[in-house]
Amino acid sequence: GESVGLHLPTLSVQEGDNSIINCAYSNSASDYFIWYKQESGKGPQFIIDIRSNMDKRQGQRVTVLLNKTVKHLSLQIAATQPGDSAVYFCAENPDMNTGFQKLVFGTGTRLLVSP
């Protein structure tokens, strides 16, 4: 089936550093992408999304970059804080022609922030 992302890596950073989490997607037809944060024992939490007609979108301390040429998505977190420690998943919606979203999740990246 379709797959998004690579094996589960771990990114370790110091508090205050900028973090970059990467994701590769496989379906060139995907038109909509989302980053989720999942803390231990909780469900995934929406962080930021981007449509394929954009290559960059900024939120509060987060930026998502989309490179459709190489099918790559990244999440940048500025001034990383211990509370940012979690597993981060990218997700894509390969079919925008339905009245709902059929999100396919990447394998995830664990972010560890040390004080």
Partner 1 sequence: DTEVTQTPKHLVMGMTNKKSLKCEQHMGHRAMYWYKQKAKKPPELMFVYSYEKLSINESVPSRFSPECPNSSLLNLHLHALQPEDSALYLCASSYDRIGGYTFGSGTRLTVV
30 lines the binding site for partner 1 (CB under 8 A): no
Which among 54, 45, 50, 53 has a CA at the least distance from the CA of 33?
A: 50
The edge-to-edge listing of strands for the beta sheet with 72-77 is 19-24, 72-77, 62-67, 56-58
Contact flag: residue 10 with partner 1 (CB under 8 A): no
CB-wise, 41 or 115, nearer to partner 1? Answer: 41
25 binds partner 1 per the rule CB under 8 A: no
Q: What is the token pair recorded at 60?
A: 């509060």
* Shortest distance (Å) from residue 13 CB to partner 1: 20
Contact assessment for residue 73 and residue 56, using Cβ atoms and an 8 Å cutoff: no
Contact residues: partner 1, CB under 8 A = 5, 8, 32, 34, 36, 41-46, 49, 51, 89, 91, 93, 96, 98-108
